[in-house]
Amino acid sequence: MARLTRKPLWRGAVGLLAGLYFLVPVAASVIFTVDVPGQGFTLDAYSGIVSADGFTDSLLLTLELAAATIVLVMVLLVPALVAVRLGAPRLRPVLEIICSLPLVVPSVALVSGYSSVLRWGPEHLSRTPLFQTFTAVQDKRFPFVLVLAYTVMALPLAYRALDSGLRAVDVRVLVEAARSCGASAPRAVLQVVLPNLRGALLNASFLTLALVLGEYTVGALLGYQPFAVWIVNTGGNQAQLSVAVSVLSLVVTWMLLLVFAALGRPRDRSRSLSRSSRRAGRDAAAPAPIAQEVA
Q: What is the pLDDT of residues 25-45, one digit of tens each?
A: 888 888 888 887 777 787 878
Angle, CA of 227, 254 and 228, to the nearest 5°:
15
| pTM over the 0.85 mark | no
294 or 19, greater pLDDT: 19
What residues have CB less than 8 Å from 149, skipping those under 6 apart? 110, 111, 114, 218, 222
What pLDDT score was predicted for residue 86?
84
Give the mean pLDDT of 211-224: 89
Burial class of residue 61 in the structure, from the number of CB atoms within 10 Å of its CB (0-12 exposed, 13-18 middle, 19+ buried): buried
The tens digit of pLDDT for each residue in 46-98 reads 888 888 888 889 989 999 999 999 999 999 999 999 888 888 888 889 999 99
**DSSP notation for 88-103:** -GGGHHHHHHHHHGGG
